[in-house]
Amino acid sequence: MFTQWRFVISRCHAVASVTACKNRFYSANAIRIRDAINSQKVGDQLKIQGWVRSIRSQKEVLFLHVNDGSCLQNLQVVADPSLHDRKLTFGSAVQISGALVKSLHKGQDVELHASDIRIIGSCDPLKFPFKIKERHPVEYTRQFPHLRCRTNTAASLLRVRSEATLAIHAFFKDNGFLQIHTPIITSNDCEGAGELFQVELAQKDKKQNDERSHFFSIPVFLTVSGQLHLEAIAGAFSQVYTFGPTFRAENSQSRRHLAEFYMVEAEMSFTEGLEDVMKVMQSLFKTVTDNVLSQCPEDVALFHKHVSPGHKWGSDLQSEHEKYLVQHCGNVPLFVTNYPYNLKPFYARDNEDHPNHTVAAVDLLVPGIGELCGGSLREDRLSLLQSRLEMAGLSDVYHWYLELRQFGSVPHGGFGMGFERYLQCILGVDNIKDTIPFPRFSYSCLL
């Protein structure tokens, strides 16, 4: 078996090396605009591919700005007016060959002097919903989730989002955390709180089956948190995390809520106190933000210049208490710790500090957003957890969760960070719907 498998792999290697791609898969030997702009290859003949972002025809010369998504900046293309085709419009897809030369124009080091312009796909500017050189309001672009990535703001957001995602994985990898794909479909209702989406066979398929029976034999839901599943794995791996979609059926049009959003969740075993959880929260925020700032400076600057000035810290829909706390403390991120016992879910660790009676829970509040992270130590003591679950009538449902405290239980804790709220926070995006490519919220599921 091992030999055979080796053979399989090496055959794949052989095949791959024969047809190995040059130039990172870019077809027709084209290079990406980011690489063209950053290259010091002035004088070289290049081919680029992308979409026309602006076009200006003068008597003696034709100017184009072309973008391929690899960076915010467009490549300026200078061409003889004879290359101007009536199909060469805003939004059209082009392939352009020419010489890269030092630019005399402000705001760019190089430009492409075109020898050939091929129109790959035309675009009728009258039908295209975005207009040349216009900055459309987010409420307008949001109506076109299939096209809004062609605007600067949405494109910058997607680049930052991708970079932040990778930075989150790198942070956990560097710190010895194992990534776990916690399930999306679950029979647990993690917090007892939060409104749930239920999953069933689609109607058309259901008719062929027994209408009364569930596909999974039991009612199942979309996950509201991977925490309990992570806790199970933390019982063998000490440090684990998950980063994936999470769901809340909240009937809210708030600028801070989505029905489908991404959450980073981490769980650490052998904790000594709530500080162990807070340390990881802080370090995650700091490391990922540093990374985004250094990898996407132009994209971040676009937000700070054009998007966030219209956004006031602590605007209307934020909970009043959170707003007060953050403002009271000087408009900086702050931790709120040790919440009243009855306000937090069953898994939060009892501080046994009667008569106040709190649990070891912590929220990280940030200006303008409110709760960014929520975490706690988890109740690791079997008897305390058991009596709390019994009181709630949940001992049967969480029998497996109790078992985790029966077999080599350890003090542990963790937290979750809303990824879209994080993006709102660092970029100053007012409405969470503009931080995710395809937002889902009540009454809206476009595409």
In the complex, the smallest distance separating the C-beta of residue 447 from a copy of itself, rounded to whole angstroms, is: 6
Whether residue 343 contacts residue 356, with contact meaning beta carbons closer than 8 Å, is answered with no
Identify residues 379-398 at the interface with a copy of itself (CB under 8 A).
380
202 near a copy of itself, judged by CB under 8 A: yes
Find the part of the chain contacting a copy of itself (CB under 8 A) among 134-142, 179-187, 338-346, 350-358.
179-187
Q: How far is the CB of 438 from a copy of itself (least distance, A)?
A: 4
CA distances from 29 to 67, 200, 399 (A): 17, 48, 59
Q: Coil, strand or helix: which one is 243? A: strand
Q: Which two tokens stand for residue 287?
A: 């490391």
CB of 134 to a copy of itself, least distance (A): 16
CA atoms of 224 and 185, how far apart (whole Å): 10
Contacts of 5 (CB under 8 A, 6+ apart): none
Residues 6+ apart with CB under 8 A from 62: 55, 56, 78, 79, 80, 81, 83, 84
β-bridge pairing 93-102 and 110-121: antiparallel
Q: Which of residues 92-121 bind a copy of itself (CB under 8 A)?
A: 92-93, 95, 120-121
Beta carbon nearer to a copy of itself, 99 or 145: 145
Complex with a copy of itself: residue 57 or 444, whichever CB lies closer: 444
Q: How many residues belong to the site for a copy of itself (CB under 8 A)? A: 158
Rounded to an integer, what distance in angstroms lies between the CA atom of residue 422 and that of residue 432? 10
Q: Which is nearer to a copy of itself, 293 or 384 (CB)?
A: 293
Q: Which is nearer to a copy of itself, 204 or 328 (CB)?
A: 204
Q: Does 192 bind a copy of itself (CB under 8 A)?
A: no
Quote the least distance from Cβ 358 to a copy of itself, whole Å: 21
314: contact with a copy of itself by CB under 8 A? no
| 199 part of the interface to a copy of itself, by CB under 8 A | yes
Q: Is 445 in the site for a copy of itself (CB under 8 A)?
A: yes
Q: Does 404 bind a copy of itself (CB under 8 A)?
A: yes
Site for a copy of itself in 43-72 (CB under 8 A): 49-52, 67-70
Q: Is there binding between residue 438 and a copy of itself (CB under 8 A)?
A: yes
In DSSP terms, 419 is beta-bridged to none
Binding mask 271-290 for a copy of itself (x = CB under 8 A): xx--xx-xxx-xx-xx--x-
Taking the least distance from each CB to a copy of itself, the nearer of 367 and 370 is 367
Shortest distance (Å) from residue 98 CB to a copy of itself: 17
**Pairwise CA distance, residues 270 & 272, whole Å:** 7
Letters for 159-178 (x = contact with a copy of itself by CB under 8 A, - = none) are x-xx--xx--x---xxxx-x
Burial 63-80 (b: 16+ CB within 10 A, else e): ebbbbbebbbbbbbbbbe
Count other C-beta atoms under 10 Å from residue 123's C-beta. Answer: 18
* Element (DSSP H or E) covering residue 51: strand 45-57
The interface region with a copy of itself, picked from 36-44, 73-81, 153-161, 314-322 by CB under 8 A, is 153-161
User: Which member of 313, 338, 346, 371 binds a copy of itself (CB under 8 A)?
Assistant: 313
Rg of the chain on CA atoms, in Å: 27
415 binds a copy of itself (CB under 8 A): no
C-alpha 441: how far from chain center: 16
Using CB under 8 A, pick the residue from 24, 86, 212, 354 that binds a copy of itself: 24
Spacing of C-alpha 43 from chain mean position: 39
Q: Does the footprint of a copy of itself cover residue 188 (CB under 8 A)?
A: yes
Give the nearest distance from C-beta 354 to a copy of itself in angstroms.
Answer: 25
User: In 3D, which of 437, 445, 443, 429 has the Cα closest to residue 145?
Assistant: 437
Stretch that binds a copy of itself, among 202-210, 337-345, 351-359, 384-392 (CB under 8 A): 202-210
Which residues are CB-neighbours of 299 under 8 A, at least 6 positions away? Answer: 72, 156, 157, 159, 160
Binding flag, residue 346, a copy of itself (CB under 8 A): no
